[in-house]
Structure formats: C-alpha cells, structure tokens
A and B are shown apart, each in its own frame.
Chain A
Amino acid sequence: MLMEVRGLTHVYSAGTPFEKIAVDGLDLDLEAGTVVGLIGHTGSGKSTLIQHLNALLKPTSGAVLLHGEDIFASKTSMYKTRFRVGLVFQYPEYQLFEETVYRDIAFGPKNQKLPDEQIDIRVRGAMAFVGLPEDILEKSPLDLSGGQKRRVAIAGVLAMDPELLILDEPTAGLDPAGREELLQNLFHWREAMEATILLVTHDMSAAARCDSLVVLDRGRAVMRGAPAEVFAHGETLQSLGLDLPEAAHIAMLLRERGVDIPSDVYTLDRLREAILALRTRKEGAAC
C-alpha cells in the first residue's frame, strides 16, 4: 500500500467556542498506481484531509503512513514527504511567482538539490506532460492565458516527480474541452510514471473516470467503492449536496418511473444500450 491514513482526526480551534472537527477518525488506503477520487461538498473536510497527506498539517490524532512509515515521525520525514507527495491547490495559477515559466517549474526540483541537467530534463518533461509548448519557457508566467498558467502550476509539481499527486479541483473554471484535455494529460502522466493520483473534484465526469471513489461528509468517509457502486446510490449522494453524472441521474429517474435500468449504469453509452435492450424486449413481447 502506498499510503495508509489511520484514524485521522483534525480539530480546529480546539478548546475554544469555535472548535470544529474537520476530519473525524478517517481511514483511507491509497493503492499504488490507482486514481482515487475524493468527493464531498464544501466544508466536508476534503482540503483539511489532503493537507495532512503531504505533511502540511499535523493531525490532532491518528497517523499517515507512506510505504508503512509515519510521515510525522520526525522533521526530516515530514520534509521528505513534501517531495514525494505533490499537492496542487485549487486555482494554483495564483501561486506562480517566478520571472519566467522555466524558473517557476524548476523551483521544486531546485529545492530537491538536483543537478542542473537533471532539472532541465524534469522541466521539459513536465511541460510535455501538460501539453505546453517549449517556446513559452522564457516568457513571464503573467503573460500567459488562464489555462496555460494553470498548466504551468501543475507542471511545477510534476517536475518534482512525486509518487503521489494530489489535485484539488484541477478542472474548475476550465471550458469542457480544457477539462477533458487536462484530465487526459494527468491520466497519461500517471501511466507513464507509474504514479498514484488522488483527485478532489465536484466534476462528476472526472469522478466517473477514477478507479475508486471516496465520499466525504462532515469529516468522515460515508461511501467508498468503484464509481458504479457509488453512483448506484443516487439519492444518498444528492442528500449530501452532491451531483450525479448526468447518465446516472437519468437512470435514477427512469428507475423511479418503473423502467428497469441496472443500478450500476452511469455512462451515456451504457444507458443508451440498456434502453435499446428494453425496447427490443418490448417489441418481442406481445402487448
């Protein structure tokens, strides 16, 4: 197991009237080489949780193990974790600060104290993974479009070659084509580097493509499983303030009307096939 989260609890402002339990005894396993989706409404504890996974926040109680070792064991282990677990915050384009795109992406590997040739390979490799052309390397990040800035910020984390990449709403604010392209780039990177991804998202079309999903509510994991298993519980997801993929939503409404659609259908292709199969059956029956 790449990462194991055990009984993680985080309490903000403990002992004051503003005390808030943001993460509440959470267990989570991240298996190496998988893409795990983390979904939950604003305030469900997602952001607090992910800041523990690269040792930015210390838990009130519980543990985070990376390859079986407690990341909070020492200052050294916390520091090392930050290079092995890459965290891309929401709207990361607001955090670009260097004078050129090259220097911004090189910032992480430089801190890793890599030799210059190695840094150069990392920077160019990361640019290629996020689909940025090399002719922008010497430009100021401030002169780029919003979508390009986002990709520079993500490339800066990829350049550290993390084993686990955590992204908080990486597709927010992008147009449909931009969302699709970024997801494909990330999935391709994961495959090429044999890395692991934890994707925090409200975008159900992105969630539908993960290997497994964890649904967070009030700091606890209230559902987990493959997308088909999670999306079969449409009413529960809606009651938690979450969306369903549109195909799963239509399938749920059809079941409510007595149409026999299997509960594990959540893509438009499978839904179309299921409906056409019912139509064929109906034509075969005498009625």
Chain B
Amino acid sequence: MKPFISLENITFSYPDAARPALDGVTLDIYPGSFVAVLGANGSGKSTLAKHLNAILLPTSGRVLVDGMDTASPENLIPIRRRVGMVFQNPDNQIVANVVEDDVAFAPENLGVEPAEIRRRVDDALNAVGMSAFAMHAPHLLSGGQKQRIAIAGVLAMRPQVLVLDEPTAMLDPRGRREVMDTVEALCREQGITVVLITHHMEEAARADRVVVMAKGKPVMDGAPRTIFPRAGELRALQLDVPGATELVRGLNAAGMTLPADILTPAECAAAISEALQC
C-alpha cells in the first residue's frame, strides 16, 4: 500500500534551541490506519504532529502529503484540506455562538456551496454523535462535547487524515471516553486515517500502531501488543506500561503462564480467572 503521508529523514530546530526538536524522523502513515504517538514531554511528538499539515516545515528532509511537498506554498491549501488538526484545549478551537455555525465555519471560508455545507455539517455532527446539540451554545457544553464539536469542525472539511494532539488532556474520564470512542469510530467506520498524540497508554492501546518518540526520533514502532510488553524500555523513556500488562508480567515472573501481550483490564481478568480454574 502507498503511504498517505511520508516523512523523509526530517529534522526541525526551534530558534535558539540547544538541540533539534526532531532529529532525523523517517515515518510513513498509511491510509485508514490508527497511529498513536507516545513520548515523554519534550520528545518531539507535538512538533512531529505540526509537520503533518504544514503548520511547521522541516529544517531539512521533506514531508509528502498525498504526494505533495509541504514546503511548496501552492500545496498549502490542498494539504490543509486533506489533513485536519485537533488540539488540546477545546475552548481555543470554538469560534461561533451556535454549534452548527461553528462546524460550518471552515467550509464557509473555503467557499463551499450552501447546500453542500448543510450536508457536511449534518454529517459531521452525526459522526461525532452531537446532532441533538446542533442549535446549542458551545460554551454550555461539557469538555468532551466541546472537543467533539471541534472534531466535527475539522470533519466538515472532509479531511482524509485527522491529527489529534492530546485531545483528551483537559477532559474528565467520561469526556475522554466520549472523544476516544468517536475517534476510533471515525477510523473504523469511515476509514479516516487517525494520528493521535497522547500520554495515556490506554488510549494508545486502542490504535493499530504505536510509535514511541524519544529525543526527536521514533525509537519503537509496532502494534500495541508488541510494544507494551517491553516494560523496561518504556520505563527508561519515562513512559508508563498499562496496569494490566504490568500485572501479567509480575504474575508470570512468579511462575504463572499468562499471555504476555495482554493490554486491557477485561482481557487480563479473563486470562487470570481461567488460569485459576481447576
């Protein structure tokens, strides 16, 4: 399969920084995949995200989106239409006083026909499960609802790729679950490519592929079930291991023989109760 986004040995340095934020990143993002990017603060993961739709341009190397080089100014608008970004703070991303006006904001600016805007707004609100709130005031919604409106605003541009930079960091557990269920459904049901930057291991565990960044480079790359059992390496990179994986490791060290690639509490409980049966 042809990658939709290709990073070709890119480096990036912020002005006056002692070391580059990205230091030779080569990475292909395939269409329809759900990629989680993990890494400690300062590992370069947000800088990486900002290269995926030309918010930042690499100091060296190049980024191709659907074959277009992000460094060419004439590619900027087509790239932004294909790759939408959602950030941490929903309050900074909402511009209108009514939910559906907010979702319509980008396609209106792109000069989309009114009938088409109507269709896109309805589809986008439906996709994030917020149709019932179309006429509500965004500032009276919960954090999780606001973040889903922000996602709908990006979806109204009909992007092929959704890049989310810690979209749940400011949300409570219920809001986190709402947003993650929405993001996963967009990938699985609508085929949208998802790149999720996160600190939460249980969110990364839902992806097809986990890329771990350290000091501006990808240092681990694989399916969650192959990454999370590598507890020692993750800890050395200041990352956590899911509790279920950690528990299984401890039990196996004490002589039990549970599958090492367990990720979720449900899988963990099922394997343990089976092992304890007579």
Contacts and interface: CB of A to CB of B under 8 A. Distances in A.
Contact of A246 (B41, B170, B243): B243
B251 A282 contact: no
Nearest to A146: B41
Interface string B169-182: 11111110000000
A175 interface: yes
A41 B41 contact: no
Interface in B25-70: 39-42
Given A249-B265, A257-B269, A259-B272, A176 B170 contact: no
A236 B250 CA distance: 29
Contacts of A246: 242-244, 265
A287 interface: yes
Chain A residues touching B, range: 35 or more
Interface in A239-255: 241-243, 245-247, 249-250, 253-254
Interface in A126-173: 145-147, 172-173
Interface size range of chain B in the complex:
35 or more
B122 interface: no
A117 B175 CA distance: 47
Contact of A275 (B199, B246, B272): B272
B221 interface: no
B269 A175 contact: no
Nearest to A245: B243
B171 A42 contact: yes
A41 B173 contact: yes
B276 A279 contact: yes
Most interface-central of B42, B171, B256, B265 (chain A CB within 10 A)? B265
A185 B5 CA distance: 42
A268 B276 contact: no
B239 A176 contact: yes
A250 B173 contact: no
Given A42-B172, A268-B246, A278-B276, A250 B269 contact: yes
A15 interface: no
Contacts of B256: 275-276, 279
B184 interface: no
A255 to B, nearest CB: 9
A90 B171 CA distance: 12
Contacts of B246: 268
Contact of B172 (A241, A245, A258): A241
Contacts of B272: 250, 254, 259, 275
B247 interface: yes
Contacts of A282: 276, 278
A250 B244 contact: yes
Given A173-B88, A177-B40, A258 B273 contact: yes
B269 A254 contact: yes
A262 interface: no
Given A42-B142, A287-B278, A241 B250 contact: no
A272 B244 CA distance: 11
B268 A250 contact: yes
A97 B175 CA distance: 31
Contacts of A28: none
A241 B176 CA distance: 10
A253 B41 contact: no
A172 B265 contact: no
A202 B176 CA distance: 11
A147 B199 CA distance: 14
A173 B254 contact: no
Contacts of B276: 259, 275, 278-279, 282
B247 A268 contact: yes
Contacts of A285: 278
Contact of B41 (A174, A254, A279, A287): A174
B157 to A, nearest CB: 27
B270 interface: yes
The 9 A-B residue pairs with the shortest CB-CB distance, nearest first, are A246-B243, A177-B238, A253-B269, A287-B278, A241-B174, A176-B240, A257-B273, A243-B173, A173-B169
25 contacts: A42-B171, A42-B172, A145-B41, A145-B42, A174-B41, A175-B41, A175-B199, A176-B40, A202-B172, A202-B173, A241-B174, A242-B172, A250-B269, A256-B269, A257-B270, A257-B273, A259-B272, A268-B243, A272-B251, A275-B251, A276-B254, A278-B276, A279-B276, A282-B276, A285-B278
Interface of A: 41-43, 90-91, 145-147, 172-178, 202, 241-243, 245-247, 249-250, 253-254, 256-259, 268, 271-272, 275-276, 278-279, 282, 285, 287
Given A249-B243, A275-B256, 19 more contacts: A42-B144, A42-B174, A42-B175, A91-B170, A172-B170, A175-B41, A175-B199, A176-B240, A246-B242, A246-B243, A253-B266, A253-B268, A258-B273, A259-B272, A268-B247, A268-B250, A272-B247, A279-B256, A279-B275
